Amino acid sequence: MLWTTPVMPRSVLIIEDDAILARSLAARLEDAVDARVTHVRTFHEGLRVVESSFVDCALIDYKLPDSDGLMGLRIIRQRSPDSSVIMITGAGSEEIAVEAMKLGAADYVVKTGRFLESVTVVVRRALGQRVLRAIQSASCDRPAPAVREEILEAYHRLGIVGDSASMLVAIQLAEDAARSDVGVLIEGDTGTGKELFARAIHSRGARAARAFIAVNCAALPEALVESELFGHVRGSFSGADRDHRGLFLEAAGGTLFLDEVGELSFPAQAKLLRALEDREIRPVGGIRGRSIDVRVIAAGADIRARTAESRFRMDLFHRLHVFPIHLPALRERREEIPRLAQHFLRKIAEAEGKTPLCFDSSTMDALSRYAWPGNVRELQNVIHQLVVSAKVGESIGTSRLPLYLHSPRHPEASSSTLRDIVREVEVATIDARLREHGYHRTATAASLGLTREGLWQKLRQLGVHLPRRIGGSSS
CATH of the domain at 365: 1.10.8.60
| pLDDT class of 75 with cuts at 50, 70, 90 | very high
**Least confident stretch, 3-7, 11-15, 355-359:** 3-7
Residue 1 pLDDT: 37
Does residue 110 share a domain with residue 154?
A: no
Residue 427 pLDDT: 76
- Measured between its terminal Cα atoms, the distance across the chain in Å is 61
Residue 195 pLDDT: 96
**Percentage of the chain surpassing pLDDT 70?**
87
Which DSSP helix (H) or strand (E) runs through 378? Answer: helix 375-389
| Most confident of the ranges 9-23, 137-151, 456-470 | 9-23
Whether 468 has a pLDDT exceeding 90, the answer reads: no
Radius of gyration (C-alpha) of the chain in whole angstroms: 27
Q: Which of 78, 107, 139 is the last residue of a domain?
A: 139
Residue 369 pLDDT: 87
Does residue 282 share a domain with residue 305?
A: yes
Does residue 179 share a domain with residue 310?
A: yes
**Least confident stretch, 20-34, 134-148, 204-218:** 134-148
Q: With contact defined as beta carbons under 8 Å apart, do 45 and 21 qualify?
A: no
Maximum Cα–Cα distance for the chain, whole Å?
89
Residue 106 pLDDT: 83
Nearest residue to 382 (alpha-carbon basis) of 394, 395, 364: 364
| pLDDT class of 4 with cuts at 50, 70, 90 | very low
**Separation between Cα atoms, residue 344 and residue 212, nearest integer Å:** 25
Q: In a 3-state reduction of DSSP, which class is residue 37?
A: strand
pLDDT tens column, 199-248? 999 999 999 999 999 999 999 988 889 899 998 888 778 777 788 889 99
HSE, side-chain direction, 13 A CA sphere, residue 106: 29
In a domain, 356, yes or no: yes
Residue 242 pLDDT: 84
In a domain, 469, yes or no: no
Neighbouring CB atoms inside 10 A of 437's CB total 16
Nearest residue to 256 (alpha-carbon basis) of 311, 293, 223: 293
Does residue 278 share a domain with residue 179?
A: yes
Does residue 348 share a domain with residue 322?
A: no
Strands 295-300 and 67-68: unpaired
The answer to whether the predicted template modeling score (pTM) of the entire model surpasses 0.75 is no
pLDDT tens column, 393-451? 899 998 888 887 875 444 444 445 667 667 777 777 787 777 777 777 888 888 888 88
CATH of the domain at 69: 3.40.50.2300
More confident residue, 31 or 410: 31
| pLDDT class of 358 with cuts at 50, 70, 90 | very high
263-293 burial string, b = 16+ CB within 10 Å, else e? bbeeebbebbbbbbbbbbbbbbeeeebbebe
In the chain, the amino acid numbered 390 is A
Q: In a 3-state reduction of DSSP, which class is residue 19?
A: helix
Whether 141 has a pLDDT exceeding 60, the answer reads: no
In a domain, 472, yes or no: no
Whether 471 has a pLDDT exceeding 70, the answer reads: no
Which domain does 102 fall in, by range? 11-139
Task: Compute the average pLDDT of residues 45-58.
Answer: 92
CA 464 to centroid of chain Cα atoms: 37
CA 367 to centroid of chain Cα atoms: 26
CA 214 to centroid of chain Cα atoms: 12
Whether 5 has a pLDDT exceeding 50, the answer reads: no
Does residue 94 share a domain with residue 159?
A: no
Whether 126 has a pLDDT exceeding 80, the answer reads: no
Q: With contact defined as beta carbons under 8 Å apart, do 261 and 217 qualify?
A: yes
**Separation between Cα atoms, residue 280 and residue 292, nearest integer Å:** 5
Does residue 312 share a domain with residue 402?
A: no
Whether 368 has a pLDDT exceeding 60, the answer reads: yes
Q: With contact defined as beta carbons under 8 Å apart, do 294 and 248 qualify?
A: yes
For the chain, what is the mean pLDDT? 83
Residue 45 pLDDT: 93
pLDDT tens column, 163-190? 888 898 899 889 988 988 888 999 999 9
Residue 466 pLDDT: 59
**Least confident stretch, 138-147, 196-205, 271-280:** 138-147
Nearest residue to 52 (alpha-carbon basis) of 13, 19, 5: 13
Residue 139 pLDDT: 47
Residues in contact with 319: Cβ distance below 8 Å, sequence separation at least 6, in sequence order: 107, 183, 273, 276, 277
| Main-chain dihedrals φ then ψ at residue 305, nearest 5 degrees | -65, -40
Residue 279 pLDDT: 87
Q: Which of 108, 139, 170 is the last residue of a domain?
A: 139
Q: Which of 328, 354, 378 is the last residue of a domain?
A: 328
pLDDT tens column, 315-335? 888 888 878 898 999 988 989
Q: How many domains does the chain have?
A: 3
More confident residue, 143 or 407: 407
